[in-house]
Amino acid sequence: MTQQIFNAENAPYEVVKAAGIAKRPVGNNGGKNKRRIKNLVCAFDIETTGIDAIEQSIMYIWQFQLDEVGTVIGRTWDEYEYFMHNLLLNLAEDETLVIYVHNLSYEFQFLRGIYDFQPDEVFCMDSRKVLRATMFDEKLEYRCSYIHSNMSLAQFTKKMGVKDAKLSGDEFNYNKKRYPWTEMTDREILYCINDVRGLVEALKIEMSADGDTLASIPLTSTGYVRRDAKRAMKKTPHNLVSGIVPDYETYVMLREARRQYTCKQILRKPHNQRCVKCRPFQQLSRCTGKL
């Protein structure tokens, strides 16, 4: 499919309205959010320039990928606010559009300048480490794909084998000062566009391989391990599990012993043999590539 480039004025907003609803996983969803997630993989990214005099950065271009339809680009926050307003007009009250951002913690610092986030709209894993943020009564949901993949954008797109991989930052020259009125070359714009195109492609490839949808894909890389563990223990009686759970003091000792054992094993192995093969227990460690 040939993808097009749009601006906030001529963006294909009808695609959002026409998109179906992502299928939820089979099982007990009684206590979960009942919002309907649009089956449209989207990504958002910005490029910024540092202003030395005030030690602040400003956004000079933003890009928004609408699945495989095309990329919307703009140069100011006013344009992005206009764009978001039109997205909202094409969403029903109970519908949510999921938007992935690679390193949401950074973009969030700019988004909070145009939107008054409430405490219950932001989920952080640590101080200034934003996993998820919602806007406009949960109609727009931003998710961090960096935390999801635990990889840089270049690594993630390469691993997934996308068509529009991240281009070289050396060629883009981050030291060059650019502003919203700076004329950009086709190659510079392609660099910006590929960041969101490649991210959407990577997410779609991953979801297809894992049988996921936007309603089931784990938010974090460790979510995959937790899900696999739950599936493996599904037929195990709860009372059996609770009966073998150690008390806190024993758990701390076991964890420390395992940590020391793991560290010793890594130090004993030649560098080129580390993390080559994972045993079942080690699937919970960092060598799986999912953590």
Q: What is the average pLDDT value for the chain, to the nearest integer? A: 86
DSSP 41: -
- Residue 158: pLDDT band with limits 50, 70, 90: very high
Report which of residues 28 and 233 the model is more confident about: 233
Could you tell me which residues come within 8 angstroms of residue 96 by beta carbon, excluding any fewer than 6 positions away?
A: 35, 36, 37, 38, 134, 138, 139, 140, 141
The residue among 103, 86, 66 whose CA lies nearest residue 139 is 86
Find the mean pLDDT for residues 247-270: 72
Q: What is the pTM of this model?
A: 0.81
pLDDT at residue 232, rounded to an integer: 79
Q: Which residue has the higher pLDDT, 29 or 250?
A: 250
Q: What is the pLDDT of residues 2-35, one digit of tens each?
A: 679 999 999 999 999 999 999 987 765 545 568 9
Residue 197 · residue 65 · CB < 8 Å: yes
What share of the chain in percent tops pLDDT 90? 64
Say what the pLDDT of residue 81 is: 98
CB 141 within 8 A of CB 134: yes
At 42-82, the pLDDT tens digits run: 999 999 999 988 889 999 999 999 999 999 999 999 999 99
